[in-house]
Amino acid sequence: MRFTRRLPLLRRLSSLSALSLVGAALLMAGCSTDTPTDTGSGSSAELPATAFSITPGAMSAAKTSLHQVVRTLGTLSNRQLLGSGKAGALGGGGGGDDNGVINSPLDLTYVGGPVVTTARNWNIYVNCPTTAADCWGNGQLGPGTFLRDLNRSSFIGVVNQYLGSSAYGQFPTSDLSLNATFTDTALTLNDIYSIVYSASLFTGASGYNNIFHVFLTQGQDMCISPTVCYSPDNFNTWVFCAFHGSVDVGTTHLLYSVEPYQGVAGCEFPTQVPHGLIDATTSTLSHEFFETISDPDLDAWFNVLTQDEMADLCAGFANNERIGHHYYSIQLEYSNAVHACTDGA
């Protein structure tokens, strides 16, 4: 079982996002300014979700899955501790213009793996008794609203340089719901694979043109291993806030992210959620989304010095701005073009 690009999981986590809070040098670039339910027409409303179930066959297949890679977003204490002072040590965020700039040590390098130039987002809302906006948003805005807004915004253009094409309008969103009982108190990777593979079978969607985002409700823990968990109720094992990855279940290649409940002190920046829970949810969701399309199998775009992906480098900086039809406060993203964190404006 392979969890990381080149480093063992625990080592990778201990050095997680060594530049994720690279200081004020990166903050300077922020600007304020088949049951598909989103046809790409520009609608950004939170839409009804289609229910599906985990199949016994999917549970069995998940146990034999291969080529598993996982990249985590650490808790706030990990990001702050490990990112402190690194920008200065590496010479800051670079500088100059498009005419012969020497690359910053923070820049990403392409190492040959696939990227995702167009895909449907499949939001999977697990055990939410009401609506996605109630469970992970502010009662009006939810994860689906945000992804639809992002798909028609200038912000998504930050990733164009890594994809080699325009991302605008290329990532529509559909919504699924799942009510399920799990044998483990804390969900495991096999549980996640069972969920994602069942959704794949239900929708007929897989491969690099589909991304499954699994949302877990408040109080639900999730463990990659017994000591590497999202576990606000157990600080001894609480290491991450979310993660993205890919896995082969049989011959089916699946891209996914997992977003546990973000409205907790270890994942939510208290001063950076002016709109409430929706900001914590969407900042993390955008983090995992951008990294999934620029580095789906952890072998495409990343910083070769630190192993950081494009969102890791800016995980500490939130920016309050209008994205599509609504305002959100979300983290910035790293751009090789400006050698800094930016919102793409």
Tens-place pLDDT, residues 141-182: 999 999 999 999 999 999 999 999 999 999 999 999 999 999
Closest among 258, 260, 251, 245 to 200, alpha carbons compared: 251
pLDDT at 164: 97
Closest among 301, 291, 305, 209 to 258, alpha carbons compared: 291
pTM, two decimal places: 0.86
For the chain, the first-to-last Cα distance in angstroms comes to: 40
Evaluate the CA torsion angle 189, 194, 196, 200 in order and state its sign: positive
pLDDT at 91: 40
pLDDT of residue 253 exceeding 90: yes
Helix (H, G, I), strand (E, B) or coil at 210: strand
> What is the overall mean pLDDT for the chain?
84
Confidence band, pLDDT 50/70/90 cuts, at residue 184:
confident
Confidence band, pLDDT 50/70/90 cuts, at residue 40:
very low
pLDDT tens sequence across 203-244: 999 999 999 999 999 999 999 999 999 999 999 999 999 999
pLDDT at 316: 82
Residue with the bigger pLDDT between 196 and 24: it is: 196
Confidence band, pLDDT 50/70/90 cuts, at residue 79:
confident
pLDDT at 45: 59
Q: Look at strands 109-110 and 301-302 and give their pairing.
A: antiparallel
108, exposed or middle or buried, with CB in 10 Å at 0-12, 13-18, 19+?
Answer: buried
Closest among 332, 324, 319 to 275, alpha carbons compared: 319
Please state which of the ranges 288-292, 326-330, 341-345 shows the lowest mean pLDDT.
341-345
Query: What's 48's DSSP letter?
Result: P
Helix (H, G, I), strand (E, B) or coil at 107: coil
